[in-house]
């Protein structure tokens, strides 16, 4: 274990769209892990509406802005000898990099615990990430980094449309967009540069209708790594993962595909020098085993918080211990009480995460779900099968409906429902269920959305079940539930 006696933990600040309460969870877990080691904890987080700012969590709490000048004064006063950057979302990570680059951490002898700054830069700087993946022999989509509008247009023309633009050192996909032609590209590229802290964007080939898969990886200082969870997005590439419906464990991957992607995710963690926890996003061609590495977040993320709850593996707690110098085989899994953190958890249930949107509150809001995150929160439903979990999740979102509910029964022409599906409006499964009821086919919806037919057949099952229940409510329910359990 590293010799540190007083550690500064950076929070995420205000709870907002794209950076919400999951970072209260991760920060609280980190504080708990530090206190167990007898380390004095100093927390800076101006948000009083959190668990981590309670008196019981940290030894001292500074309700001050997450800004270089304020944090420098805290370091100067408290004489902290360590700092944790990965438990307050992108805000904390960017602030940590700024503290390092300004020389403040060196000036006061503060050690960065966990993934080193160089590793963070490799992960978050789009061009450096691209170079790191190429050096590691990992496939990435055709892409190029640009620091000017002219350069970005040149790269887009060279790659060929459609392209997606991603912004370096950013949160919630702000400024990102998909362009199908030069005109669309020119309309949005200036806005993308305006959202970048470092004046850089990545122009990348848009992988239309490819699957998006995420792995949560933990890695210790000795290079031991575990892929804790594999999350599969219901939505294909092009939808921000914070706005995606997510299923865990993955349902449509073959064992071979799973192992290929798992190995690649662990190699990403190794290439960036990760010590702690990261989220790796990958794209998989649904018609072959071709895949690309999309990005990684070298910190606790929204997906990490979900994965912790899904698997029972306390990712933030373990990541904090690893940052202190422990190895995976030295840490006990608190859930099993027997195995170490080096064992990957197994699941005997399925989880569905569904986001919630409140776009109707905003005039002239774009109702299309895309690469910029718009959801205000999410729910997580657990079931023995997907049929159960989908129904639970939609009900929990609390929009006054179920997958097969009031909206499903409302009279409406198929053309209007299909328009919502083409526009990819919130709560797509509900629109799909209604379209299937009105006569649309699974293949037709697949061609429009790119959603794997496996999930479309699950929704079709629920539609058939609902229609049969209208005819014979009791007997049909029992027989259909028995069939689904089999």
- Match 């700092």 to its residue by tokens: 83
Predicted confidence at residue 338, as pLDDT, reads 83
In this predicted structure, which of 242-246, 347-351, 470-474 has the lowest mean pLDDT?
Answer: 470-474
At 267-277, the pLDDT tens digits run: 999 999 999 99
Whole-number pLDDT of residue 24: 86
Residue 175 has pLDDT above 60, yes or no: yes
Per DSSP, 324 falls in state T
What tokens does 451 get? 């959603």
Q: Does domain 211-347 have CATH number 3.30.70.120?
A: no
| Other residues' Cβ atoms within 10 Å of the Cβ of residue 342 | 16
Specify the range with the lowest mean pLDDT, choosing from 59-68, 90-99, 463-472: 463-472
| Backbone φ and ψ of 212, nearest 5° | -115, 125
**Tokens, residue 397:** 């979102």
Q: pLDDT grade, residue 481 (50/70/90)?
A: low
State yes or no: pLDDT of 1 exceeds 80: no
Q: What gap in Å lies between CA 328 and CA 221, rounded to an integer?
A: 9
Report the range out of 297-311, 414-428, 468-482 with the highest average pLDDT.
Answer: 414-428
Check: CB of residue 317 under 8 Å from CB of residue 29.
yes
| H/E stretch holding 292 | strand 291-297
- Per-residue pLDDT averaged across 57-61, rounded? 95
DSSP, res 423: H
Check pLDDT > 70 for residue 486. Answer: no
pLDDT at 30 over 60: yes
pLDDT value at residue 140 = 96
Could you tell me which CATH number the domain at 142-205 has? 3.30.1490.20
Average pLDDT, the chain: 91
- List residues bridging with 16 in a β-sheet: 19
Looking only at the bridges linking them, the beta strands covering 163-167 and 177-179 are antiparallel
Query: What are the residue boundaries of the structural domains of the chain, listed by start?
Result: 6-113, 142-205, 211-347, 353-485
The pLDDT score that the predictor gives to residue 359 is: 86
Mean pLDDT of all residues in 212-216: 97
Q: pLDDT at residue 478 above 60?
A: no
Lowest mean pLDDT among 161-170, 351-360, 365-374, 476-485: 476-485
pTM of the model: 0.91
Confidence of residue 35 (pLDDT cuts 50, 70, 90): very high
> Which pLDDT score, from 0 to 100, does residue 152 have?
96
Q: Go through the chain and tell me how many residues it has.
A: 486
Instruction: For 365-410, write each residue's pLDDT tens digit.
Output: 888 999 998 888 889 999 999 999 999 999 999 887 778 888 888 9
Sign of the torsion angle spanned by Cα atoms 220, 81, 170, 48: positive
Q: What is the CATH number of domain 353-485?
A: 1.10.1030
Instruction: Pick the closest to residue 156 from 201, 122, 121 (CA basis).
Output: 201
Between strands 225-233 and 246-248, the pairing is: antiparallel
**Confidence at 336, pLDDT banded by 50, 70, 90:** confident
Identify which has the larger pLDDT, 246 or 378.
246
What is the per-residue DSSP string for 232-247?
A: EESS-TTS-GGGS-EE
Does the structure show a pLDDT above 90 at 340?
yes
Structure confidence at residue 479 (pLDDT): 60
Q: E strands of 56-146, at which residues? A: 60-62, 82-84, 111-113, 143-146
Closest CA to 297 of 172, 110, 204, 137: 172
Q: What does the alpha-carbon distance between residue 31 and residue 33 come to, in Å, rounded to a whole number?
A: 5
For residue 342, whether the previous peptide bond is cis, meaning omega lies within 30 degrees of 0, is no
> Given this model, what pLDDT does residue 480 score?
56
* Burial track 272-303 (b if 16+ CB lie within 10 A, e otherwise): bbbbbbbbbbbbbeeeeeebbbbbbbbbbbbb
CA distance 355 to 78: 40
Q: Which residue has the tokens 């594999």?
A: 230
Residue 476 predicted with pLDDT over 60: no
pLDDT tens figures, 91-134? 899 999 999 999 999 999 999 999 999 999 999 888 899 999 99
Beta bridge partners of residue 232, listed in sequence order: 213, 247
* The CATH number of domain 6-113 is 3.40.50.20: yes
* Secondary element (H or E) of residue 35: helix 22-36
Chain-centroid distance, C-alpha 323: 21
């Amino acid at each position: 274990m590293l010799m540190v006696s007083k550690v500064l933990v950076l929070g995420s600040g205000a709870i907002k769209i794209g950076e919400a309460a999951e970072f209260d969870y991760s920060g609280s877990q980190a504080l708990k892990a530090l206190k167990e080691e007898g380390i004095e904890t100093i927390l800076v987080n101006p948000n009083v509406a959190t668990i981590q700012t309670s008196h019981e969590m940290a030894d001292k709490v500074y309700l001050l802005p997450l800004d270089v000048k304020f944090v420098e004064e805290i370091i100067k006063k408290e004489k902290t000898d360590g700092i944790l950057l990965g438990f307050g979302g992108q805000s904390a990570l960017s602030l940590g990099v700024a503290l390092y680059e300004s020389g403040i951490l060196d000036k006061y002898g503060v050690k960065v615990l966990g993934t080193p700054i160089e590793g963070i830069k490799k992960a978050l700087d789009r061009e450096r990430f691209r170079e790191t993946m190429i050096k590691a022999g990992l496939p990435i989509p055709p892409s190029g980094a640009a620091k000017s509008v002219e350069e970005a247009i040149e790269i887009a023309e060279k790659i060929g449309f459609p392209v997606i633009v991603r912004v370096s050192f950013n949160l919630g996909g702000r400024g990102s967009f998909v362009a199908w032609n030069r005109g669309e590209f020119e309309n949005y590229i200036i806005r993308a540069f305006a959202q970048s802290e470092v004046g850089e964007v990545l122009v990348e080939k848009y992988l239309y209708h490819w699957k998006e898969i995420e792995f949560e990886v933990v890695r210790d200082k000795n290079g031991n790594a575990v892929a804790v969870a594999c999350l599969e997005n219901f939505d294909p590439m092009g939808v921000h993962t914070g706005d995606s419906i997510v299923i865990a464990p993955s349902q449509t991957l073959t064992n071979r595909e799973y192992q290929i992607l798992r190995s690649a995710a662990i190699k990403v963690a190794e290439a960036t020098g990760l010590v702690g926890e990261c989220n790796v996003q990958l794209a998989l061609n649904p018609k072959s085993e071709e895949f690309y590495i999309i990005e990684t977040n070298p910190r606790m993320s929204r997906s990490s918080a979900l994965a912790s709850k899904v698997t029972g593996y306390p990712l933030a707690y373990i990541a904090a211990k690893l940052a202190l110098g422990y190895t995976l085989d030295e840490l006990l899994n608190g859930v099993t009480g027997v195995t170490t953190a080096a064992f990957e958890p197994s699941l005997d249930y399925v989880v569905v995460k569904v986001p919630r949107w409140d776009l109707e509150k905003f005039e002239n809001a774009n109702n299309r779900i895309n690469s910029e995150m718009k959801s205000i929160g999410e729910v997580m439903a657990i079931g023995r099968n997907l049929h159960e979990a989908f129904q639970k999740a939609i009900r929990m979102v609390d929009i006054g409906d179920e997958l097969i509910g009031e909206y499903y029964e409302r009279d409406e022409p198929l053309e209007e429902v299909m328009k919502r599906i083409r526009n990819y409006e919130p709560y797509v499964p509900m629109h799909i269920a209604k379209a299937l009821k009105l006569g649309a086919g699974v293949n037709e919806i697949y061609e429009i959305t790119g959603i794997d037919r496996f999930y479309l057949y699950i929704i079709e099952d629920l539609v058939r079940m609902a229609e049969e229940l209208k005819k014979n409510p009791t007997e049909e329910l029992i027989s259909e539930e028995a069939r689904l359990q089999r």
